[in-house]
């Protein structure tokens, strides 16, 4: 093996190790909170030595913050999809709601992690979350919503309501199953259509 190939293999192995650590940390932080997990437990869950864990992340705080940023990273792809002109604006909003719901289901640990962070944040941590985790994604979503809406609706409120309503529906899912009146909310297609209509898709969709 050449020196270049060895370097490539080492870099790939380091990246795989980092991903294992992040995946284990996301699961454990979501289940127990950061204070309920030691670095030794994190290392064991990731299948690495404690020294290797500290090689990648110098502290539990640094690891937790990286996990939080990673948990929100794929949300940006959903936001960018709203800007595609392949469908009318109402249909794009419906697609966003469906895809966002699928993401919540697939990333349950990430959702729990983010909710823990929001509930437990002190003023300094809340400022960091706003600037380093949510701010850029939310600003992009607001910009997309402003371009999609044709009636006089505030895009900031619309963006917040869309995400909050979808998250609340996801969290309340087990309860909704037992509420007869919640049929339109339980049905994914009806929910996506209703929420898109409420948020004001373009006139061309009406």
Same domain, 99 and 198: yes
Mean pLDDT in residue range 95-117:
92
- Condensed to tens digits (0 to 9), the pLDDT of residues 23-47 reads 999 999 999 999 999 999 999 999 9
Same domain, 176 and 95: yes
Is pLDDT above 80 for 4? no
Q: Which range is least confidently modeled, 41-45, 88-92, 100-104, 114-118?
A: 88-92
| pTM, 2 dp | 0.83
Written as six digits, the tokens of 190 are 């009806």
What confidence score (pLDDT) does residue 151 get?
57
| Helix (H/G/I), strand (E/B), else coil: 142 | helix
Same domain, 130 and 165: yes
| Structural domain harbouring 164 | 74-205
What confidence score (pLDDT) does residue 100 get?
93
Is pLDDT above 50 for 206? no
Q: In sequence order, which residues have a C-beta less than 8 Å from that of residue 54 and are 6 or more positions away?
A: 39
The last residue of one of the domains, among 29, 45, 69, is: 69
- Condensed to tens digits (0 to 9), the pLDDT of residues 130-156 reads 999 999 999 999 999 988 765 557 899
Same domain, 153 and 170: yes
Helix pair 89-106, 155-171: axis angle to 10 deg:
40
What confidence score (pLDDT) does residue 149 get?
62
Q: Name the pLDDT band for 201 (thresholds 50, 70, 90).
A: low
Dihedral sign computed on CA atoms, order 38, 40, 46, 49: positive
Mean pLDDT in residue range 197-202:
73
Structural domain count, the chain: 2
Taking the C-alpha atoms of residue 76 and residue 120, their distance in angstroms, rounded to an integer, is 24
Same domain, 142 and 122: yes
Same domain, 29 and 82: no
Same domain, 17 and 49: yes
What confidence score (pLDDT) does residue 205 get?
45
Same domain, 140 and 185: yes
């Amino acid at each position: 093996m050449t020196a270049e190939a060895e370097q490539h293999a080492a870099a790939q192995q380091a990246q795989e190790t980092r991903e294992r650590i992040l995946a284990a940390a996301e699961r454990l932080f979501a289940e127990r909170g950061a204070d309920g997990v030691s670095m030794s437990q994190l290392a064991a869950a990731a299948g690495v030595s404690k020294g290797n864990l500290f090689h990648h992340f110098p502290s539990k705080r640094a690891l937790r913050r990286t996990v939080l940023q990673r948990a929100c990273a794929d949300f940006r792809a959903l936001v960018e999809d709203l800007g595609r002109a392949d469908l009318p604006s109402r249909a794009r909003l419906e697609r966003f709601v469906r895809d966002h719901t699928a993401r919540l289901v697939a990333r349950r640990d990430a959702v729990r992690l983010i909710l823990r962070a929001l509930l437990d944040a002190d003023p300094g941590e809340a400022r960091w979350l706003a600037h380093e985790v949510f701010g850029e994604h939310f600003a992009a979503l607001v910009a997309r919503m402003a371009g999609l809406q044709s009636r006089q609706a505030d895009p900031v409120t619309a963006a917040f309501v869309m995400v909050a309503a979808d998250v609340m529906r996801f969290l309340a899912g087990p309860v909704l199953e037992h509420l007869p009146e919640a049929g339109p909310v339980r049905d994914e297609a009806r929910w996506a259509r209703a929420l898109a209509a409420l948020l004001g898709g373009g006139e061309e969709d009406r």
